[in-house]
């Protein structure tokens, strides 16, 4: 090779190498045309939009427990809209790709209540009210099966596959590690991923998972059912006083007096022993009623069939029953002292929309036999769709997956 050609090739090689190392300008990197539409079996991409986000501020969302505002975020916001052909669904996935200093990781987040996720809408609009009546039924009597299946499992898997494909298209290499993080419904989704889609994520954090969905979501209403049977709705302060009495009777049985009953099996505190004794409700002397004792007992024992058979577990005696507003025995009271039950809205929606399939169903008047039928329907129609109690995680282990999960009593 002549010296001229040698220098020509050397300069060209240096130029090409420099181009390859030159970071793409964010505007160029983040353009709708540049992102490859992923080809994924069973999915059809309907739309893909990339928006360059510079100096973006993510506000704090205190109701979601995010109390920090994140400022000066630079990323490419890719929104993918897709369908499962024939299902008639339309699902949005959001992927946020850092404009610089990508650490090579992919992180997906789960949902809560009936919200599918923070990074997918599961085919129904994500909102903080978690109102399912807008999408659960195609018409009275008819479940919207595709959207239920999307919410329960499929859309979470799609989010992983689409998200990783977009990430690879954007950065030119696939993520080195993939993580999923979720709590409650998100925790259930984490378990679902480990059980049904064991190759999607290397690491899964599944916090307070809504495991055993079909049983516990109905069982949550058992104290409300008992109140309706008794036609008595104890005040939150009375239920709180019962909880306090249980804690003072059993707290130290685990060897540590810390307000938590850590060995619940040792606690056989019977709330009926309180009936007739006095307690204070907002400074006013009151007397424990047998209705309140029965409601606490129901919450702690869990539901039983009309013939006395076990249906599901109760909650710990140290768990809040009422006044927090989200207890399973919560009531709401008027100024004149009349109270009514406040069933957990997600449980009530499950019964109304998916079990009875009737927007106007009145839970407050059901009989014990109807209760049993609802419990049976929940398990029989939905466990294979939304249940996550399969403890065989060997596929996930073989794929190298790791998961962390924790739960309260």
Q: What's the min distance (Å) between Cβ of 92 and ligand NAG?
A: 8
Contact between 55 and ligand NAG by CB under 6 A: the answer reads: yes
Q: Which residue, 51 or 270, has its beta carbon nearer to ligand NAG?
A: 51
How far apart (Å, rounded) are the C-alpha atoms in residues 50 and 46? 14
Contact between 287 and ligand NAG by CB under 6 A: the answer reads: no
How far apart (Å, rounded) are the C-alpha atoms in residues 72 and 68? 13
Q: What's the min distance (Å) between Cβ of 96 and ligand NAG?
A: 7
Binding segment (CB under 6 A) for ligand NAG, from list 49-57, 137-145, 149-157, 322-330: 49-57
Q: Which token pair is 285?
A: 């002397």
Is 191 within 8 Å of 212 (Cβ atoms)?
A: no
Q: Which residue, 73 or 291, has its beta carbon nearer to ligand NAG?
A: 73
Q: Which residue, 75 or 312, has its beta carbon nearer to ligand NAG?
A: 75
Residue among 17, 32, 51, 257 that touches ligand NAG (CB under 6 A): 51
Binding segment (CB under 6 A) for ligand NAG, from list 47-55, 115-123, 223-231, 341-349: 47-55
- The residue behind tokens 């998916």 is 354
Contact between 109 and ligand NAG by CB under 6 A: the answer reads: no
Strand runs labelled E in 221-303: 278-281, 284-287
Other beta carbons within 10 angstroms of residue 47's beta carbon come to 12
Strands 70-83 and 44-58, bridge-based pairing: antiparallel
How far apart (Å, rounded) are the C-alpha atoms in residues 92 and 108? 14
Is 226 within 8 Å of 300 (Cβ atoms)?
A: no
DSSP code, position 134: T
Contact between 49 and ligand NAG by CB under 6 A: the answer reads: yes
Is 175 within 8 Å of 191 (Cβ atoms)?
A: no
Q: Which token pair is 314?
A: 């109760």
Contact between 107 and ligand NAG by CB under 6 A: the answer reads: no
Contact between 128 and ligand NAG by CB under 6 A: the answer reads: no
Contact between 77 and ligand NAG by CB under 6 A: the answer reads: yes
Size of the site for ligand NAG (CB under 6 A): 8
Q: What's the min distance (Å) between Cβ of 78 and ligand NAG?
A: 8
Q: Which residue, 77 or 169, has its beta carbon nearer to ligand NAG?
A: 77
Contact between 79 and ligand NAG by CB under 6 A: the answer reads: yes
Is 102 within 8 Å of 75 (Cβ atoms)?
A: no
Interface residues toward ligand NAG, by CB under 6 A? 49, 51, 55, 57, 72, 77, 79, 94
């Amino acid at each position: 090779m002549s010296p001229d050609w040698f220098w020509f090739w050397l300069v060209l090689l240096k130029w090409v190498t420099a181009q390859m190392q030159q970071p793409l300008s964010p505007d160029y990197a983040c353009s709708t045309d540049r992102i490859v539409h992923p080809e994924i079996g069973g999915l059809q991409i309907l739309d893909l939009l990339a928006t360059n986000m510079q100096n973006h501020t993510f506000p704090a969302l205190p109701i979601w427990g995010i109390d920090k505002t994140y400022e000066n975020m630079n990323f490419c916001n890719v929104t993918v809209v897709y369908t499962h052909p024939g299902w008639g669904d339309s699902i949005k996935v959001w992927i946020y790709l850092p404009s610089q200093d990508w650490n090579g990781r992919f992180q997906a987040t789960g949902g809560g209540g009936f919200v599918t996720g923070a990074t997918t809408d599961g085919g129904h609009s994500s909102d903080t009210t978690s109102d399912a009546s807008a999408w659960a039924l195609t018409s009275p009597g008819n479940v919207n099966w595709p959207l239920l299946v999307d919410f329960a499992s499929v859309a979470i898997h799609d989010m992983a596959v689409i998200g990783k494909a977009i990430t690879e298209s954007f950065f030119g290499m696939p993520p080195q590690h993939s993580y999923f993080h979720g709590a409650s419904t998100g925790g259930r989704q984490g378990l679902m991923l480990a059980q049904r889609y064991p190759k999607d994520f290397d690491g899964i954090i599944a916090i307070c998972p809504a495991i055993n969905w079909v049983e516990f979501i109905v069982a949550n209403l058992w104290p409300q059912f008992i109140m309706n049977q008794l036609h008595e709705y104890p005040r939150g302060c009375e239920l709180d006083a019962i909880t306090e009495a249980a804690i003072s009777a059993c707290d130290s049985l685990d060897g540590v007096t810390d307000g938590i009953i850590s060995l619940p099996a040792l606690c056989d505190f019977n709330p009926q022993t309180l009936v007739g004794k006095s307690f204070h409700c907002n400074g006013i002397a009151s007397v424990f009623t047998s209705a309140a004792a029965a409601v606490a007992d129901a919450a702690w024992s869990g539901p039983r069939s009309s013939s006395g058979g076990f249906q599901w577990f109760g909650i710990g005696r140290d768990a809040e029953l009422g006044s927090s507003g989200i207890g399973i025995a919560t009531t709401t009271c008027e100024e004149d002292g009349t109270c009514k039950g406040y069933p957990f809205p997600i449980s009530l929606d499950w019964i109304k929309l998916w079990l009875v399939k009737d927007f106007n169903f009145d839970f407050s008047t059901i009989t014990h036999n109807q209760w049993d039928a609802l419990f049976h329907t929940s398990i029989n129609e939905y466990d294979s769709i939304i249940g996550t109690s399969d403890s065989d995680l060997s596929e996930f282990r073989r794929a190298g997956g790791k998961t962390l999960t924790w739960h309260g009593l």
